[in-house]
Amino acid sequence: MIITNAKLYGKKGLWNLSLREGKIFSITPSQPLSNQVNAAILDIHGKLILPPFVEPHIHLDYVLTAGTPRWNQSGTLFEGIQCWSERKVSVKETKADIKNRALQALKMQMKHGVQHVRTHVDITDPSFLGLEAMLEIKEEIRPWMDVQIVAFPQEGIYAYPKGDELLEESLNMGADVVGAIPHYEFTREDGVLSVKKALELAYKYGKMVDIHCDEIDDEQSRFLEVVAAESYKLGMGEHVTASHTTAMGSYNNAYAYKLFKLLKQANIHFVSLPKANLHLQGRFDTFPKRRGITRVKELLDADINVCFGLDSIMDPWYPLGDGNLQRVVEVGLHACHMTGYEDITSAYDLITINGAKTLNLQQYEIKEGNKANFIVLDTDNEYDAVRCQPSVLYSVREGKIMVETKPAETQMHASIFSKQFSEN
Ligand code: 17E
Ligand code: FE2
């Protein structure tokens, strides 16, 4: 197949992409194709092509459970954890039920141009039903999506009975990434130990690390420095991610200054979840109310990798969501005051290449020789992508069109306007 008249994200001009055997064979400046071309041609008329969107942080075992057994009334993280804990014992689900919910969410994301997903799965559950469900889904969905699984001890490595053993067992069962939740452990000391435990297990089993880190408005919550320092000492930074880090939005600038030096040295990745954390944080504030979001702009300015994720689709922590990362970008830019011209035109880095770096994806970019995986948006430039939230016209995977959307068409019926107005 040949894709003709493509506007490549971040690049000037129009291009032809020729695809062979599921890979990108060549990328050449657009020119009229001769009639002799012996391949299917898809003219996209200057529309924007990007590598597939990357969802770096979602909880697929939680999706579509909001309201069962009850709604999170306070909107806090802690009531969310409480609701989920109650659900684990009161709602009896089969593995098929969990897979069914996860699959619905993956399809929502697929429709919105996502082809790579990192999901957390709660392993503070001696039955491991959620993990088993995710391990099966990961294999079954491989032709359409790449899925990474984080073994996530939602109720703590030390605050939950035998949390450390459950975590290690999850890695033996096949989880790809080690998780932790230090701000939920009983004490600061336990939190520090939990971070060290996660890194030690990752080192032992050759896994990546993704820690729910400082997801709280407590300016004293400083586990990020532990994650960074320990990763640095082990030389593991590139394989380590700090998710949420919302307390950073409450740190004083003198401390943040010192912290940034360490973050740069450690070379770890950040996942910010703007929609989820605008909803969950600031709940104990009156006025002024904090935004409860990490320092995205400042991290990027310091050349530290940050990506955006969704976190939730209708779960005890967040009642809305439909799998669309473009909306996360729009909300995130507002929340982080990232509305300068370049902030806008490069914003989709946050849900493409920055996510790919976080997940350590190989062969991700649109490049000759790489897999023919990409999406086409219904816009012809980066600025309007952010502004207008265009449909994903195509999602192409290994050279095959996997998703195709016909955009809605709006007609303005001239008869309701004055003649002069309708002629303009
Ligand atoms: N669990 C957690 O600890 N934090 C979250 N934001 C979600 C689940 C969604
Ligand atoms: Fe999360």
Residue 37: pLDDT over 80: no
Ligand nearest to the CA of 183: 1
What mean pLDDT comes out for the span 302-326?
A: 98
The answer to whether residue 42 sits within a structural domain is yes
Enter the DSSP assignment of 206.
T
What pLDDT sits at residue 418? 64
Q: For the segment 88-116, what is each residue's pLDDT rounded down to a tens digit?
A: 999 999 999 999 999 999 999 999 999 99
Q: How far is the CA of 41 from the centre of ligand 1 (A)?
A: 45
Residue ranges with CB less than 5 Å from ion ligand 2: 311
How distant, in Å, are the alpha carbons of 119, 245, 260 from that of 135? 11, 27, 36
Cis peptide preceding 274, ω within 30 of 0: no
Q: How far is the CA of 47 from the centre of ligand 1 (A)?
A: 36
The answer to whether residue 384 sits within a structural domain is yes
Residue 257 and residue 373 in one domain = no
Residue 10 and residue 122 in one domain = no
What pLDDT sits at residue 34? 76
Number of helical (H) and strand (E) elements in the chain, helices listed first: 14, 16
| Residues assigned a catalytic role | 215
The total domain count for the chain is 2
Ligand nearest to the CA of 182: 1
Which atom of ligand 1 lies nearest, measured to the CA of 280?
6
197-229 burial: b if 16+ Cβ within 10 Å, else e: bbbebbbeeebbbbbbbbbbbeeebbbbbbbbe
Residues forming a β-bridge with 151: 121, 178
Pocket test of ligand 1: the residue of 76, 124, 154, 277 to mutate, having most ligand atoms within 8 Å of its CB, is 154
Residue 249 and residue 262 in one domain = yes
Residue 314: pLDDT over 60: yes
Which atom of ligand 1 lies nearest, measured to the CA of 312?
9
Domain limits at 168? 53-359
Q: For the segment 358-414, what is each residue's pLDDT rounded down to a tens digit?
A: 999 999 999 999 999 999 999 999 999 999 999 999 999 999 999 999 999 998 887
Residue 125 and residue 23 in one domain = no
What pLDDT sits at residue 31? 86
Per cent of the chain over pLDDT 70 is: 97
Q: How far is the CA of 370 from the centre of ligand 2 (A)?
A: 31
Overall residue count recorded for the chain in this entry: 424
Determine the Cα–Cα distance for residues 293 and 304; give it in Å rounded to an integer.
16
Looking up tokens 């012996």 gives: 38
Give the residue from 300, 331, 359 where a domain finishes: 359
Task: List, chain by chain if needed, residues with CB within 6 Å of any ligand 1 atom.
Answer: 59, 77, 154, 181, 212, 215, 276, 311-312, 317
Of 241-245, 284-288, 417-421, the least confident: 417-421
The answer to whether residue 8 sits within a structural domain is yes
Q: For the domain that residue 38 is a member of, what is the CATH number? A: 2.30.40.10
Residue 254 and residue 382 in one domain = no
Determine the Cα–Cα distance for residues 304 and 298; give it in Å rounded to an integer.
9
Q: For the segment 175-195, what is each residue's pLDDT rounded down to a tens digit?
A: 999 999 999 999 999 999 999
Residues 6+ apart with CB under 8 A from 160: 124, 153, 166
Helix (H) or strand (E) run with residue 3 in it: strand 2-8
Q: Which long-range contacts (CB under 8 A, 24 or more apart) does 79-82 make?
A: 79/316, 80/280, 80/315, 80/316, 80/317, 81/154, 81/155, 81/184, 81/316
Strand positions, DSSP E, 263-388: 269-272, 306-308, 374-377
Q: For the domain that residue 239 is a member of, what is the CATH number? A: 3.20.20.140
Cα 2–chain centre separation:
30
Pocket test of ligand 1: the residue of 185, 212, 280 to mutate, having most ligand atoms within 8 Å of its CB, is 212
The answer to whether residue 410 sits within a structural domain is no
Residue 19 and residue 122 in one domain = no
What mean pLDDT comes out for the span 216-230?
A: 98
Cα 152–chain centre separation:
16
Q: How far is the CA of 232 from the centre of ligand 2 (A)?
A: 23
Residue 98 and residue 140 in one domain = yes
Residue 305 and residue 242 in one domain = yes
Give the residue from 359, 375, 392 where a domain finishes: 359
Residue 239 and residue 337 in one domain = yes
Residue 421: pLDDT over 80: no
The answer to whether residue 409 sits within a structural domain is no
What mean pLDDT comes out for the span 215-241?
A: 98
Residue 109 and residue 193 in one domain = yes
Residue 345 and residue 372 in one domain = no
**Residue 210, SS3?**
strand
Ligand nearest to the CA of 318: 1
Pocket test of ligand 1: the residue of 62, 271, 311 to mutate, having most ligand atoms within 8 Å of its CB, is 311
- Work out the mean pLDDT of the chain and round it to a whole number: 96
Residue 24 and residue 65 in one domain = no
How distant, in Å, are the alpha carbons of 29, 96, 152, 273, 382 from that of 260? 42, 44, 26, 20, 30
Are the CB atoms for 308 and 328 separated by under 8 Å? yes
The answer to whether residue 415 sits within a structural domain is no
In 3-state terms, the chain is what percent helix, strand and coil (to 5)?
A: 40, 20, 40
What mean pLDDT comes out for the span 40-65?
A: 98
Which atom of ligand 1 lies nearest, measured to the CA of 273?
6
Which atom of ligand 1 lies nearest, measured to the CA of 59?
9
What mean pLDDT comes out for the span 117-122?
A: 99
Q: How far is the CA of 234 from the centre of ligand 2 (A)?
A: 25
**Angular region, 267: left φ>0, alpha ψ -120 to 50, beta rest:** left
Residue 275: pLDDT over 80: yes
Q: For the segment 138-170, what is each residue's pLDDT rounded down to a tens digit?
A: 999 999 999 999 999 999 999 999 999 999 999
